[in-house]
Structures are given as C-alpha cells and as structure tokens.
Structure 1
Amino acid sequence: MSWNRRHVLSLADFSVEEYNTVLQTASSFREVLTRRTKKVPTLQGQVVANLFFEPSTRTRSSFELAAKRLSADTLNFAASTSSITKGETILDTAKTYLAMGTDMMVIRHKEAGVPQAIADEMDRLNVKVGVLNAGDGQHEHPSQALLDLFTICSLMDVEKPRSTLLEGKKIAIVGDILHSRVARSNIWSLTASGAEVHLAAPPTLLPKEFADFVKTSNPEISRKLFIHWTLEPALIDADFVMTLRLQKERMTSHLLPSLREYHQQFGITRDRLKLCNPDVRVLHPGPVNRGVEISSDLMDDPVLSLISQQVTSGVAVRMALLYLMGGGKVG
C-alpha cells in the first residue's frame, strides 16, 4: 500500500490504488474497534485540531473519536466561542493552532475552498501539517464519501473490502444534488470504482450541467454518470440507493413547492424499492428529515438500511485517513 498525500481535500484526483489503500487500512482499524481495548498508539504524541467553522454532530464527533482511538491529542475549535467573533481571520486562527504544535488540521467551513486555502498556507510556511477537508460549502466532503464506499464494499466482502467490487453496480443518488458536497465526493469515488451512478432530483435541484460534472477529472478514468428528473428510471435495478438531505439552510430561493410534494415524487419508501434489485440497500449521510427524504420505517429497517453502519464505518475510515496522513504504524 502506498500513500503520498499530505492533504485530503478532494476525491477528484484519487486513484483506484488510493481508494483501496484507505479501504484496507480502515478494515484493519475496524478490527481494532471490536477489541476490549479500542486504542492503538499509532499517533501518540501527535496533535489533531478539529477546526469546525459550521455546526456538525456526526463528522466532528467521529473525527474526535478517531484521533483519540489512535492515541493522538485533540484540540477542538468552535467558531461561536473563538476569536473569529473578534475579527481574527481564518488563516490567523489556523496559524495559532500551528503554533500550539498541531500536526493535522480537520477543517469544516460553509464556504468552498477554505480547507484548500489553509493547506496552501501550511505549504507556503513549509511546515509538515496535513489538512483534511471535513466539508466545505458545496464543494466536497471526502471522508463521508470514503466511509460510504467502505460501508458498501464491506457489505459485499467484509474481509477484503475493495473498490473493484462495485464494477457494474448501479447506484442511485436521490435528493438535493445541487447543494450536496456529499454527492459530489460520492460521484468521484463511485464512478472511479466502476459503478454506474444515476442522479435523480427535481430540475431545480439537479441542473442539466451536472451531466458534464465528471468531465472535469482525470480522463484516464472512464466514468458513468446519468441524470434523471423523475425517480423511477434511477431506481430500476439499482443495487444501492443513497438519499440526501434537503439542505434548506443552503437554499436561497423557493426550489420546491412543498416538502410533502417532494416526498410524494422523490421520497424513498418500501414500495418504491420494489423497482430495485431484490438485495438493494439504502444509505443516507445524515442528518435525516424523517418522512421527507426517506420513510421512517425504512430508515429504521435493520436489513434494508445501512445508515447505522455508515456511522460506525465513519470512525474506522477517519482513523485510516489520520493514520495515513500522520505516517503512523498499525500496532
């Protein structure tokens, strides 16, 4: 397994080998998490700063727990109680944490490009500090897509999850594609793994330009991406269905008539899953608007729903990313 990245900011240029390195490393850490003592000393003495400039529950808690499971020290930043409220710039905040001895920074921000700007500043200063994008605006959310990939591949082969397992699989991504950084990162990872990705949403949440989204990446990777403005074509014979939260806080205009009408046309229910492969499984990155994107009974179904597995996978995958970026050794 090889790994040469100091930063993880986007999946657009990830290679198949890099995906498999993350999957195999996460698999080894999943085993660690089943032990009575769920800690390894791989990053002992290193400092991980979680700089979250917008609210988060799952991602922030997952990264914090992942760092602690690797025996790293953690620093947690909250914008509402920081010097940002007094006028300090984001780069100055990052340099303050650098001065405290931070080795890795996990960044979430409502504006696209902030993690990249901090990574550029760390490189300009010639310090060996890794930056991990935990979600920036409508750009990307790499660790979420990687944990989704790990969840799916582990379902197909728990002992050896690998990206080639998705070759020829049909995966439907349904919902607020326009505002979703999760969807963008998943498109990169799933198409690079050989899956057919079918996007489904109302036209206001899925512009036709999205059909050309994958053309901006490495032309050496053949990617299959399709868009639908009705739900049924995306669901027919689908192996996995990923439904996305309606991000009302990012919507600047009335893009939907009503939540009820959205659920009637694009909500995922048991009846609608009858169009899919009989072994279909459902994912959702959370948080979930029950009864809007997905029916409540389906969300809680222990067989059809992979939502709880996604949360569990998140710790192992984020351990893997911190380990790879931090240059630790599995112990």
Structure 2
Amino acid sequence: MTELTWQRRHVISLADFTPNDYETVLQTAVSFLEVLSRRNKKVPTLQSKVVANLFFESSTRTRNSFELAAKRLSADTLNFAPGTSSLSKGETILDTARTFLAMGTDIMVIRHQSAGVPLAIARDMDALSGKVAILNAGDGKHEHPSQALLDLLTLCMYLNPKTPTAKDLKGKKVAIVGDILHSRVARSNLWSLLTNGADVHLAAPPTLLPPEFAEYGAKIHYSLDPALEDADFVMTLRLQMERMGQFLIPSLREYHAKYGITRDRLAKCAPNVQVLHPGPVNRGVEISSDLMDDPRLSLIDKQVTNGVAIRMSLLYLLGTAI
C-alpha cells in the first residue's frame, strides 16, 4: 500500500485534492471511529492547541460536530457568534480573524454565507504568521469539504465495513438529486466522487441544475428516472429556500411529485441502494419521512456519526502539520 502523507496547511476546496489526500483523511478518520467506540472517547492529540469555530452563518450539525471533534482531540475551543460580536460595531471579518490569531488560535474553522471568505482569511493569516490552519466549513455556494469527506467515508464504509478505502467507489453509480444550483455540498461531492472513480449523475429541475455541471464530468438529467436507474447510492439535497431570490420551482408539492425520493422510486435503483442527505431535511419534500427513518435504506444517521470522525481527522492532520 502507498504510504499516506499530508502536506496541506489549509482545507479550502476539494478541487485539488489528490487520491492520496482522500485516502489519508479516510484512513485517519477510520482510526478515530475506533476511538469514538471506546468508553473513554478522548485522546490527547491536540492538547494545548486552540481551535476557533468562526461561524458567520447559522449552523447546527457542522458547528457542533467540529466543536465535539476538537474536544475529543483535547484541544481548547473558542466559539464565535456574529450576533454578539464586534461585527455589529463595524469590525471587519479579517479584523475578527486577526483578533483570534492574537489569542493564539492554531486552527480556524470558517463558515460564511459568501463564497471566498475562508480563502481570503487563509491568505491574510499566511501573510501575517504562516502558522494558522484554515478549514472551510462551508462558504456560500462554493464548497463544503468536510461534508463531502464524511459522505465519502459513509459510502466506503457501507461498501467495505472492515477496511474501507476510497478505491471502493470506483464504478459505483451515485445520483445526486435536488437543489444543485445553490448547493456547496454538491460541488464538493462532485470533486470527491469523480476523483475516486464514481459514476455521478445529477438530477433536478432545469432552474436548479446549470448545464455547466456537465463540464466537471457528471451526467445531467432534468427528469429523475434516468438518474436513479441502477444507482448504487442516492444523495438527495435540501431545497435552500433562503437562497432562492426568485420562484425557481412551482411549489413544494410539485417538486416532491417529480423529484422527491420515495420507496417506489427506489425500485429503479440497484437492489441494495442506500439513501443519503446532508441535512437539515425537509421531510416529505426531498425525501419521504418513512424512507428517511428506515435504517435498511437510509445512511443519514451514519453520516452524522461519521462527521465527527472526519472532522477529528481534518483537525488532527492540520494541527500536527502546523
């Protein structure tokens, strides 16, 4: 087996991740899953390191997952909430980051509603010190690397529970269905899945699926059936109504009728098909409620569990590379 190495200072995008990068994150996460199964779930790996969670945009799963991951690694954590910060007094985002740098922060986990903010902070931190790692926890419609990596781990563990590897995805058909236009999760998953040899199909109404996604190597469908045919996995995405500035779908009822994932529709997929969703879920819109709660068909709960291990992996790799 090729020796796994890690040379990244920041994780901003998966667009330039190599197969080695994916495998390193994956295998490190698998080792942390073993740690999380123990009675004592903490390890001293990042003891004395400071992880700052700078979430300029609301989040539940991602923010809490990163905080728990940092604490499991014994790091000290700082949490930022824009509503009670000096941003309301006119402070800039970069000045906020510089304040956390002055406090001795080693890793900054950044979420922002605008694309490019984590990269801008990374460049500023590099110019100031070169000793702070930046981890993109979701920026606008750009990317969400840790979500795609936990999805990768979830898929590979389903295919090969004992010794999961990114190579297990080669040739597997993955259908991504939903609001692809606004989805940073879809963009990061495209890089991850295509780099590791998956056959990726995108399905959505034309208003939510720009044709340029075909340039990345995915197959585009404006009706659901061709995307689902013989699919090994179906990843459905939330309709991001808060990002829609215009009427892009006639109604939620019509969307579900044409693109909602149900048991009947899964009959077109491969016999052992599994369903994923990055959350939060609009039950009865993107996916039927009974399907979401069926452990025989749904990997959604496993995605949440694997999220802590993946984020431990990323924090560990960045923290030990500083």
- TM-score class normalised by the smaller sequence: over 0.9
Q: 2:253 pairs with 256, 260, 267, which one?
A: 260
Give the root-mean-square deviation of aligned CA atoms.
0.7
Q: Return the alpha-carbon distance in structure 1 between the equivalents of residues 129 and 108 of structure 2.
A: 15
Q: Return the alpha-carbon distance in structure 1 between the equivalents of residues 6 and 212 of structure 2.
A: 33
Q: Return the alpha-carbon distance in structure 2 between the equivalents of residues 174 and 125 of structure 1.
A: 42
Secondary structure class of the residue paired with 2:283: coil
Amino acid corresponding to residue 38 of structure 1 in structure 2: K
Which residue number in structure 2 is paired with residue 240 of structure 1? Answer: 233
Which residue number in structure 2 is paired with residue 302 of structure 1? Answer: 295
Amino acid corresponding to residue 252 of structure 1 in structure 2: G
Q: 1:206 pairs with 205, 209, 220, which one?
A: 209
Does residue 271 in structure 1 map to residue 259 in structure 2?
no
Which residue number in structure 1 is paired with residue 146 of structure 2? Answer: 143
Amino acid corresponding to residue 101 of structure 1 in structure 2: G
Which residue number in structure 2 is paired with residue 218 of structure 1? Answer: none
Does residue 311 in structure 1 map to residue 304 in structure 2?
yes
Q: Return the alpha-carbon distance in structure 2 between the equivalents of residues 126 and 180 of structure 1.
A: 33
Pairwise CA distance, 1:162: 1.0
Give the 5 Å matches for 1:156-175. Answer: 156-175=159-178
Pairwise CA distance, 1:207: 1.4
Which residue number in structure 2 is paired with residue 180 of structure 1? Answer: 183
Moved more, 300-309 or 120-129: 120-129
Q: 2:132 pairs with 129, 142, 161, which one?
A: 129
Q: Return the alpha-carbon distance in structure 2 between the equivalents of residues 174 and 236 of structure 1.
A: 13
Does residue 53 in structure 1 map to residue 46 in structure 2?
no
Q: 1:91 pairs with 91, 94, 98, which one?
A: 94
Secondary structure class of the residue paired with 2:218: strand
Amino acid corresponding to residue 317 of structure 1 in structure 2: I
Q: Return the alpha-carbon distance in structure 1 between the equivalents of residues 104 and 128 of structure 2.
A: 14
Q: Return the alpha-carbon distance in structure 2 between the equivalents of residues 88 and 324 of structure 1.
A: 31
Pairwise CA distance, 1:160: 1.8
Secondary structure class of the residue paired with 1:85: helix
Secondary structure class of the residue paired with 1:197: strand
TM-score, normalised relative to structure 2: 0.98
Q: Alpha-carbon deviations, 1:207-247, whole Å to 9, x = none? A: 112211x2xxxxxxxxx410000000000000000000000
Q: Return the alpha-carbon distance in structure 2 between the equivalents of residues 207 and 194 of structure 1.
A: 23
Q: Return the alpha-carbon distance in structure 2 between the equivalents of residues 15 and 119 of structure 1.
A: 20
Q: 2:78 pairs with 67, 75, 78, which one?
A: 75
Secondary structure class of the residue paired with 1:272: helix
Q: Return the alpha-carbon distance in structure 1 between the equivalents of residues 108 and 164 of structure 2.
A: 27
Q: Alpha-carbon deviations, 1:132-168, whole Å to 9, x = none? A: 0000000000000000000010111122211110111
Q: 2:196 pairs with 193, 196, 208, which one?
A: 193
Unmatched segments (≥5 aa) in structure 2: none
Pairwise CA distance, 1:78: 0.4
Amino acid corresponding to residue 274 of structure 2 in structure 1: R
Amino acid corresponding to residue 323 of structure 1 in structure 2: Y
Does residue 103 in structure 1 map to residue 106 in structure 2?
yes
Amino acid corresponding to residue 263 of structure 2 in structure 1: R
Amino acid corresponding to residue 276 of structure 1 in structure 2: C
Pairwise CA distance, 1:127: 2.8
Does residue 27 in structure 1 map to residue 34 in structure 2?
no
Pairwise CA distance, 1:254: 0.4
Q: Return the alpha-carbon distance in structure 2 between the equivalents of residues 249 and 161 of structure 1.
A: 36
Q: Return the alpha-carbon distance in structure 1 between the equivalents of residues 315 and 251 of structure 2.
A: 41
Q: Return the alpha-carbon distance in structure 2 between the equivalents of residues 91 and 69 of structure 1.
A: 28
Secondary structure class of the residue paired with 1:327: helix
Q: Return the alpha-carbon distance in structure 2 between the equivalents of residues 29 and 51 of structure 1.
A: 24
Q: How many matched pairs?
A: 318
The runs of at least 4 consecutive aligned structure 1 residues that moved more than 3 Å come to none
Secondary structure class of the residue paired with 1:140: coil
Q: Return the alpha-carbon distance in structure 2 between the equivalents of residues 35 and 208 of structure 1.
A: 47
Does residue 154 in structure 1 map to residue 147 in structure 2?
no
Pairwise CA distance, 1:185: 0.1
Q: Return the alpha-carbon distance in structure 1 between the equivalents of residues 161 and 50 of structure 2.
A: 31
Unmatched segments (≥5 aa) in structure 1: 215-223
Which residue number in structure 2 is paired with residue 249 of structure 1? Answer: 242
Pairwise CA distance, 1:126: 2.8
Percentage identity across paired residues of the two chains: 73
